[in-house]
Structure 1
Amino acid sequence: MQRVPEPEYMDIDEEAAAYANADFNEVNAAFVNSLLEFVGPGNDSYMLDLGSGPGDIPRRISEARPDWRIVGIDASMPMLRRAAARRAPPKTRAHLWYVLCDAKRLPFPSQSCDIVVSNSILHHLEDTVTFWKEVERVMRPGGRLFLRDLSRPADKAEAARVVDKYSGNETALLKEEFYRSLLAAYTPDEVRSQLNDADLTGMRVARVTDRHLDVWGTLSR
Structure 2
Amino acid sequence: MNRILEPELMEDEDQVKAYAEADFDIPHNQFITRLDHFINGAQFGGVALDLGCGPGDISCRFASAYPLSKIHAVDGSEAMIHFARQQTPDDVNRRIRFILGMLPDVMLPQLSYELIFSNSLLHHLYDPQVLWQVIKKYSKPGTHIIIMDLLRPDNIESAHALVSTYAGNEPEILQRDFYNSLLAAFTLAEIKQQLKHAALDLSVEQISDRHVFISGVIPGAYFNKWT
Distance 2:90 2:109 in 1: 28
User: Partner of 1:108: helix, strand, or coil?
Assistant: coil
Deviation (angstroms), 1:103? 2.7
Whole-angstrom CA distance in 2 between matches of 1:189 and 1:104: 24
Partner of 2:15: 15
> What is residue 80 of structure 1 aligned with on the other side?
81
CA shift, 1:4, in A, is 0.3
SS of alignment partner, residue 118 of structure 1: strand
Q: Which residue of 2 aligns with 1:115?
A: 115
1:88 is displaced (CA, Å) by 2.8
Query: Sequence identity of aligned pairs in percent?
Result: 34
Instruction: Tell me the residue number matched to 1:206.
Output: 205
Q: Are the equivalent residues in 1 in contact too, given 2:103–2:130 (CA < 8 A)?
A: no
1:42 maps to what in 2?
43
The structure with the largest strand share of the pair is 1
TM-score (norm. length: structure 1): 0.95
For 1:9, the aligned partner's letter is: L
2:3 paired residue number? 3
SS at match of 1:139: coil
Aligned pairs for 1:1-221 (under 5 A) are 1-40=1-40, 41-90=42-91, 92-108=92-108, 111-201=111-201, 203-220=202-219
Deviations 1:99-134 (A, max 9, x none): 001132241367510001011000001221232111
Which is worse superposed, 178-187 or 11-20?
11-20
Report the AA paired with residue 26 of structure 2: E
AA matched with 1:38: F
Segment of structure 1 superposing worse, 106-115 or 5-14: 106-115
> Do 1:149 and 1:214's aligned partners in 2 also have CA atoms closer than 8 Å?
yes
Write the letter of the residue equivalent to 1:58: S
Cα distance change on mapping 1:110 and 1:127 into 2, 3 Å: farther
* Unmatched segments (≥5 aa) in structure 1: none
Runs of 4+ in 1 over 4 A off after TM superposition: none
Count residues in correspondence.
Answer: 219
Q: CA deviation at 1:43?
A: 3.5
8 Å CA contact 1:73, 1:100 repeated in 2: yes
CA–CA distance in structure 2, aligned partners of residues 199 and 142 of structure 1: 16
Write out per-residue CA displacement over residues 175-202 of structure 1, whole angstroms, 9 at most, x where no aligned residue: 011000000000111011111111222x
**Structure 2 Cα separation of the partners of residues 168 and 130 of structure 1:** 32
1:152 is aligned with what amino acid?
Answer: R
| 38-47 vs 120-129, greater mean Cα deviation | 38-47
Q: Which sections of structure 2, spanning at least 5 residues, go unmatched?
A: 221-227
User: Quick one: distance in 2 between partners of 1:86 and 1:68?
Assistant: 19
